[in-house]
């Protein structure tokens, strides 16, 4: 989990272990002197992401740290987040939460990958917008569904842009009221 966090934040993890003395974990992260709101490059107005109204988003990722980080970004953007850690738990969440406006899913998960989950989710909710968050540059063989993709690691700005596109481009499902 720590390695996943380091990779997501463009850092590094070094583990050293000495028998009888224990294990040491060094986590290296970038440091900046800029205020947090200036750390993202300013986008020209024409490149600004469409502003999505508050939405109920089902977030599916088996990596706890990535799920926590993404859920935090989504909540900071004003969205309500429902978390699931597997394809099966995501399908159960869709059955019990009919007001889901968007699903964001990892691709590589044990048991049911993100493409398989998307197919099943679309059977349950045909108009559901789905965003595939993946570290794969190209989809592995056997991925039989075309979905918008967000490459890992991603920033909050990139996440907001993709959500805005999905919720404002041809989707007739209303966002969940604030």
In order of their start, the domains of the chain are: 2-30 (no CATH), 49-168 (3.40.50.2300)
pLDDT (0 to 100) of residue 178: 32
Phi-psi region of 111 (alpha: psi -120 to 50; beta: other; left: phi over 0): left
- What pLDDT shows up at residue 2? 72
Q: What is the pLDDT of residue 46?
A: 45
Label residue 132 left, alpha or beta by phi (over 0 means left) and psi (-120 to 50 means alpha).
beta
The stretches of the chain forming alpha helices (DSSP H) are 2-8, 64-76, 87-96, 114-124, 156-168
What is the DSSP-derived secondary structure letter of residue 35? -
What would the two tokens of residue 6 be?
């380091």
Q: What is the pLDDT of residues 13-66, one digit of tens each?
A: 888 888 888 888 888 887 766 666 654 554 554 454 445 578 999 999 999 999
Write down the pLDDT at residue 33.
Answer: 62
At 72, the pLDDT band (50, 70, 90 cuts) reads: very high
> Whole-structure pTM over 0.75, yes or no?
no
- The pLDDT value recorded for residue 138 is 64
d(CA 146, CA 132): 10
- 16/20 Cα distance (integer angstroms): 13
- Could you report the per-residue pLDDT of 127-168, keeping only the tens digit for each? 999 999 987 656 556 566 788 999 888 899 999 999 999 998
Q: How many CA atoms lie within 13 A of 82 on its CB side?
A: 21
Buried b (16+ CB within 10 A) or exposed e, 148-170: ebbebebeebebbbbbbbbbeee
Q: List C-alpha distances in Å: 123 to 61, 76, 126, 127.
A: 20, 31, 6, 9
């Amino acid at each position: 989990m720590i390695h996943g966090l380091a990779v997501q934040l463009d850092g590094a993890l070094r583990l050293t272990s000495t028998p009888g003395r224990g294990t040491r974990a060094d986590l290296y992260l970038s440091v900046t002197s800029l205020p947090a709101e200036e750390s993202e490059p300013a986008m020209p107005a024409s490149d600004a992401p469409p502003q999505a109204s508050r939405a109920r988003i089902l977030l599916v990722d088996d990596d706890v740290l990535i799920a926590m980080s993404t859920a935090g970004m989504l909540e900071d953007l004003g969205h309500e987040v429902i978390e699931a850690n597997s394809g099966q738990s995501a399908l159960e969440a869709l059955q019990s939460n009919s007001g889901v406006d968007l699903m964001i899913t990892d691709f590589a998960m044990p048991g049911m990958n993100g493409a398989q989950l998307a197919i099943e989710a679309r059977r349950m909710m045909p108009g559901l917008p789905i965003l595939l968050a993946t570290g794969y540059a190209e989809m592995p063989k056997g991925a039989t569904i075309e979905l918008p993709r967000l490459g890992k690691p991603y920033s909050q700005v990139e996440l907001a842009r993709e959500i805005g596109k999905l919720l404002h481009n041809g989707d007739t499902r209303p966002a969940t009221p604030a």
